[in-house]
Amino acid sequence: TNVEYQIGLTATLITDDSVIKRMHKVIYPTNCVYGDSHIKAYMDMYPISYPMHERLRRLVKTTNFNSNTYSHTAFENSILRYKFILDSYCKLIKTTVDDYYIEDYMEKDKVAIFVSTVKMADELIHRLKVWYPDKQIVRYCQDDDYDEMLEGEIIVSTPGSLGTGIDVPNLR
């Protein structure tokens, strides 16, 4: 690229696939990769997967019209139409919050839950306030107030609102 420094991003940093490993070595030669592993992590991420019975999968859309790639927006819009699927999905989120946030809670900890649609954020906020009446639960989407979001302990947002260029300072 004829530049002194390059920042390369990939969604597949760690892999067991030998082809991808070879491509990483070509694109990111070991002698050119920043290797300082003393970066202070300030958050943990927990990807969650869930099974869905075949009968239910037929009801749920995971792609947008004229597309064959997965869309979480299409998924959320689809399950919002079926109360029993929505209930099950929200319970999965509650179980995850219980296991990874409530159970190991330390003072000033926060949890951010990312959803794709504002409608899902509103639905989830309503349920979270019932499940966790002692927690400060806030939505941070579109025109919501940044300072109010900072006060939240459980924050529900979209990747476009909280996931891009927004800092939630370490308040400890």
* Predicted confidence (pLDDT) at residue 1 exceeds the cutoff of 60: no
Give the pLDDT confidence of 20-42 residue by residue, as tens digits.
888 878 877 777 776 666 656 66
The CA distance from 42 to 83, in Å, is 36
Average pLDDT over residues 144-172: 81
Alpha helices in 16-82 (DSSP H): 18-27, 54-57, 72-79
The predicted pLDDT at position 94 comes to: 96
The shares of helix, strand and coil residues in the chain, as percent rounded to the nearest 5, are 40, 5, 55
The predicted pLDDT at position 74 comes to: 93
Give the pLDDT confidence of 56-97 residue by residue, as tens digits.
888 989 888 888 888 899 999 999 999 999 999 999 999 999
Which tokens is 53 given? 């019975």
Choice between 48 and 87, residue whose per-residue pLDDT is larger: 87
The predicted pLDDT at position 43 comes to: 67
The predicted pLDDT at position 11 comes to: 63
pTM: 0.71
